[in-house]
Structure 1
Amino acid sequence: MTLKDTAEEWRITATETPFTGNKTSVRTDDVVMPDGSVSRRDYQVHPGSVAVLALDEHDRVVVLRQYRHPVRQRLWEIPAGLLDVPGENPLSAAQRELYEEAHVKAEDWRVLTDVYTTPGGCDEAVRIFLARELSEAEGERFAVEEEELDMELARVPLDELVRGVLAGDLHNNCLVVGVLSLTAALRGDGLDALRPADAPWPARPFES
């Protein structure tokens, strides 16, 4: 048995897009099942995202606290954002998000992990980067708006975030996956064994 996800596409007999929004849309496909029957599948079509687990020299993670209306909660998160431009280099997008949301830059970048957030109902793919050797970004801070207007920033020890995840106090997908993946990497082959920042990403192919 090979423990690796593989590309596959079942036959679609009909498709439509009943809703198109500003950044995402909803698609309905009629998919042929293994027994020959056809089942309807509704799912959100998403451009993809990047997230950044920025780790400073004191093993603290840069986090932000932001209101998320769909879940009616203010969540602790790591910097993240959409891949707004088709084919956009995910590293460039991650560097932009770290600057805009935390006014921080990093010298060392690695791929921490790649995930599908909710593959049963959305095609969103997220690449989570590890950023190290942090310093204050140059120039003026990015002008925030909407939910970001009262966003809180903090640096929290990695161990404290892990405890919060396991206690059920922290719920943001990228934060949970990021801090647990980082903990596993530290206890495994080490951070230098992580993939380079420009590693291929079949879920969202990008330009070099």
Structure 2
Amino acid sequence: MRVEDVAESWEVTDSKERFAARVISVRTDTVRMPGDETADRDYVVHPGSVAVLAIDEDDKVLMIRQYRHPVRRLLWEVPAGIRDVPGEPLVDCAARELAEEAGYRARTWHTLLDIYTSPGMCDERIRIFLARDLSPIPEEENDYVHRHEEIGMPVEWIPLQEAVEKAMAGMIHNSPAIAGILAAYAASADGFKGLRPADAPEA
């Protein structure tokens, strides 16, 4: 049997926006279920995101630490950001986030994963890229200015094997970071040859 997610859309008989903020909104859709019954489904509407698993020639992963207020924790993460420029190729968005949050550029890009962060309550989709052949961007060449949430975010290089161990030990909690680390570890077995190109379409 071929295991693959498929697109399907059940009839929405009513839809109400409950809340709208700068980035997200909350909707209630009344959905026609099997058996011709209806049920209300509340969910967060999100523009989508990208994340970058950057790995150097020594198989070390670039990680940053960021305060996340909803969970009241400083989390170890990978560079990531919202798809906030209409029509921008996702890999360009990822390159921008890598420059903004970590001050690096990459010559080699591949699509690593496509994930939904929490599909039972949110439509956010994240494309995680693998970035290699990295080099620091000289400060005078980096056109990106840190936003307030990016100031003071330390950059650390962690061996990929160690990052896997920390994820499995419950020491890393950020979902795109964990997914990216484990996927990169699996993909490294064949030298990353089986990965999709950076501009692969989203299914």
TM-score, normalised on structure 2? Answer: 0.95
- What residue in structure 2 maps to residue 193 of structure 1? 194
Match of 1:180 in 2: 182
Q: Give the aligned CA root-mean-square deviation in angstroms.
A: 1.2
Task: Find the aligned partners of 2:85 and 2:150 in 1 and give their Cα distance.
Answer: 21
The answer (yes or no) to whether the contact 1:103–1:141 under 8 Å persists in 2 is: no
Consecutive unaligned residues in structure 1, runs of 5 or more:
203-208
1:95-106 to structure 2, matched below 5 A, reads 95-106=95-106
Task: List per-residue Cα deviations over 1:95-142 (Å, max 9, x = no partner).
Answer: 000001111000000001110110000000000000000001141473
Measure how far apart 1:87 and its partner are: 3.0
Q: CA separation in 1, counterparts of 2:194 and 2:172?
A: 27
Q: Deviations over 1:25-64 (max 9, x none)?
A: 1111000111211110010001010000000011111110
| Structure 1 residue 85: Cα displacement | 2.2
Distance of 2:157 and 2:170 partners within structure 1: 20
Match of 2:160 in 1: 158
- Paired AA for residue 198 in structure 1: D
After TM superposition, the structure 1 = structure 2 runs for residues 1-208 of structure 1, keeping only pairs within 5 Å, are 1-138=1-138, 139-140=141-142, 142-187=144-189, 189-202=190-203
User: Structure 1 CA distance, aligned partners of 2:106 and 2:146?
Assistant: 21
Letter in 1 for 2:127: R
Asked whether the 8 Å contact 2:111–2:197 carries over to 1, the reply is yes
Q: Percent of pairs identical after alignment?
A: 50
Whole-Å separation in 1 of the counterparts to 2:86 and 2:145: 24
1:162-186 deviations in Å (ceiling 9; x for gaps): 0111001100011100000011112
Q: In 1, Cα distance between the equivalents of 2:142 and 2:47?
A: 29
TM-score (norm 1): 0.93
* Range moving further from structure 2, 145-154 or 111-120: 145-154
Residue 145 of structure 1 deviates from its aligned partner by: 3.1
- SS where residue 84 of structure 2 aligns? coil
Counterpart residue identity of residue 164, structure 1:
K
Number of matched pairs: 201
Q: Aligned residue for 1:206?
A: none
| CA distance in 2 between partners of 1:66 and 1:141 (Å) | 22
**SS across alignment from 1:191:** coil
Shift of the 186–17 alpha-carbon distance from structure 1 to 2, 3 Å rule, reads same
1:17·1:28 contact (CA, 8 Å) conserved in 2? yes
Mapped to 2, the partners of 1:119 and 1:95 lie a distance apart of 26
Moved over 6 A (4+): none
Q: Which amino acid aligns with 1:156?
A: I
Q: Helix, strand or coil: the match of 2:193?
A: helix
- Report the Cα offset of residue 161 of structure 1: 0.7
- Cα distance in structure 1, aligned partners of 2:149 and 2:100: 14
Verify the 8 A CA contact 2:79 2:98 in the aligned structure 1: yes
